[in-house]
């Protein structure tokens, strides 16, 4: 019986890990695209977001948000948060990444439970303020 249960246990563990990887690689929940930012983007919100960015984000994303932070997990490449690729996301999608984390191996840990929702929205507003300006 032992010979049968070991392969089954391994198969179950493998399926579990594959499932987690698939979820993490899928990116933010499609519903996140529809989330509306309830926090006005004003000087107070942007300043609060900058403080929070300095506390939680700069270690991996860098002081200038270019993805060059000194403490990014080995083998990862945090995105340039000022780039068009990130700035083209909706506020809700950026919020969802902050809240839920991202990456095939959860390289970016979720901040749900570490930051209040309003704080995460403040970070979104800050990132918008330093992002590449779109052409009209």
Q: Is this structure's pTM higher than 0.85?
A: no
Distance CA 44, CA 105 (A): 35
Query: What parts of the chain have a pLDDT lower than 50?
Result: 1-2, 4-26, 135-136
The confidence score (pLDDT) of residue 135 equals 46
The confidence score (pLDDT) of residue 20 equals 34
Which domains, from first to last, does the chain contain? 28-130 (1.10.760.10)
The confidence score (pLDDT) of residue 25 equals 42
The confidence score (pLDDT) of residue 76 equals 84
The confidence score (pLDDT) of residue 123 equals 98
């Amino acid at each position: 019986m032992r010979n049968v249960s070991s392969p089954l246990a391994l198969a179950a563990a493998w399926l579990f890990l594959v499932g987690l990887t698939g979820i993490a690689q899928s990116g933010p929940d499609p519903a996140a695209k529809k989330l509306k930012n309830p926090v006005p983007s004003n000087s107070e919100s942007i300043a609060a977001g900058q403080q929070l960015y300095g506390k939680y984000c700069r270690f991996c994303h860098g002081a200038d948000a270019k993805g060059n932070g000194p403490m990014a997990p080995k083998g990862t490449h945090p995105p340039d948060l000022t780039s068009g690729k990130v700035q083209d996301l909706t506020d809700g999608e950026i919020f969802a990444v902050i809240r839920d984390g991202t990456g095939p191996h959860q390289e970016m840990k979720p901040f749900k439970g570490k930051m209040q929702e309003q704080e995460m929205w403040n970070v979104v507003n800050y990132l918008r303020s330093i992002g590449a300006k779109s052409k009209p």
